[in-house]
Amino acid sequence: MFASIFTTVIVQPIFNLMVVIYALLPGHNFGTSIILFTIAVRFALYPLLKKQLYHTKAMRSLQPELKKIKKEAAGDRQKESTLTMELYKERQINPFSSLGLVIVQIPLFLALFSVLKRVVEDPNSLITFSYPAVQNISWMQTLAKDITQFDNTLFGLVDLNRAAISSAGAIYWPAMLLVAGSAAIQFFQIKQTMPSDKDARKIREILKEAGEGKQADQSEINAALSRNMSYVFPILIFFLTVSFAAALSLYWLVGGIVAYLQQDYLLKKDKDIMMAGLSKGEQKHAGAVEAELVEDTTKKPKAKKVTAKKSQAKRKKRR
């Protein structure tokens, strides 16, 4: 029942969108249609990505206050949890909002996997699974007469039906390059949003101290786990795609490149443009963080001036 609804509501519309791109594209190359489709999907997800990056920054800016709360709670988990939730409410920050992009991508990935699997196993599904309006496109009518005209390659160089490693263990190197590239871009994409902390400790060190009776800092554990994910997730992508048709690796590679460029653009944007479209509470919090940073930088010079005046006064007294 659920599978049928998922197919009708999500898989078939995505399938037909990709088929329309393929049918209208000059040259009718399947690899090119996957690239264009992936770019369209990434731009559709752009507002979510923008919000995800903002919340990532917002959560990091709360770390000093979260440490103060932990110190104030002195081991009282209930008190720490209450104060933490009050802080989130005060700053109008939802700690789980950054998961939106991930949640949306899961059904998209499953649907795309189903679409590609359907086309790879049976090219005739381009006709049979398409909506009547799509079947009436000129090129689709040509395919209906002769399905062998379906070009399932990437620019004629990579057979998108083949896996990087076949069931017999043979390596298809063009597909392997796509798999390696998709894993690598995922690594750089995750690293791009992670703060650089030279004093950051490994999860092994934190857990070792916890085993010796020292209470572990949850924020430090979360940071260590996030750093580990920058290595774990690309490895998972590699092993997930290495045995499937190269079309899936092409999707991951193109999607990763577009996401990396989008993140790079957002991270370098002017802060006023970056906050456009955010709620008033989110903008207020971002302004507060900015004010704190400005205040910190303006305090230091004053402190130096006072110190300098005091030292001059001491010298005069000595003379």
Question: Which tens digit of pLDDT belongs to each residue from 113-142?
Answer: 888 888 888 899 999 999 999 999 999 999
- pLDDT (average), residues 94-100: 65
Q: Three-state secondary structure along 253-301?
A: HHHHHHHHHHHHHHHHCCHHHHCCCCCHHHHHHHHHHHHHHHHHHHHHH
| pLDDT value, residue 117 | 84
| pLDDT value, residue 85 | 82
| pLDDT value, residue 302 | 44
Tokens 């800016």 found at:
61
- pLDDT (average), residues 66-82: 77
- Joined together, the tokens standing for residue 157 give 């160089």
Adjacent-strand bridge partners of 159: 153
- pLDDT (average), residues 167-187: 91
Nearest 5°: the CA angle 59, 186, 36 is 110
Distances (CA, A) of 34 to 20, 116, 151, 282: 11, 10, 12, 36
276 has pLDDT over 90: no
Claim: this prediction has a pTM higher than 0.85: no
**CB neighbour class for 14 (10 Å; exposed up to 12, middle 13-18, buried from 19):** middle
**CB neighbour class for 44 (10 Å; exposed up to 12, middle 13-18, buried from 19):** exposed
290 has pLDDT over 50: no
Q: What DSSP assignment string belongs to 166-208?
A: -TT--B-HHHHHHHHHHHHHHHHHHHHTSPP-TTPPPHHHHHH
Altogether, the residues listed in the chain come to a count of 319
What's the distance, Cα to Cα, between the start and end of the chain in Å?
93
| pLDDT value, residue 179 | 93
12 has pLDDT over 70: yes
* Alpha-carbon span 179 to 280, nearest angstrom: 42
Is 29 strand, coil or helix? strand
Q: Where are the domains of the chain?
A: 2-268
* Alpha-carbon span 118 to 127, nearest angstrom: 12
What percent of the chain has a predicted confidence (pLDDT) above 70?
A: 69
Closest CA to 39 of 261, 265, 268, 304: 261
| pLDDT value, residue 130 | 93
| pLDDT value, residue 70 | 76
- pLDDT (average), residues 92-100: 67
Question: Which tens digit of pLDDT belongs to each residue from 148-176?
Answer: 999 989 998 999 988 999 888 889 999 99
The overall average pLDDT reported for the chain is 76
| pLDDT value, residue 301 | 45
Strands (E) located in 52-124: none
* Alpha-carbon span 292 to 234, nearest angstrom: 36
CB–CB of 272/204 below 8 Å? no
| β-pair type (158-159, 153-154) | antiparallel
CB–CB of 255/42 below 8 Å? yes
Question: Which tens digit of pLDDT belongs to each residue from 202-246?
Answer: 555 655 555 555 555 555 555 555 666 677 888 888 888 898 889
pLDDT level of residue 16 (50, 70, 90 thresholds) = very high
- Joined together, the tokens standing for residue 61 give 């800016």
pLDDT level of residue 96 (50, 70, 90 thresholds) = low
* Alpha-carbon span 56 to 266, nearest angstrom: 12
Question: Which tens digit of pLDDT belongs to each residue from 191-201?
Answer: 877 655 554 55
- pLDDT (average), residues 260-287: 62
Q: Write phi, then psi, for 153 (nearest 5 degrees).
A: -110, 175
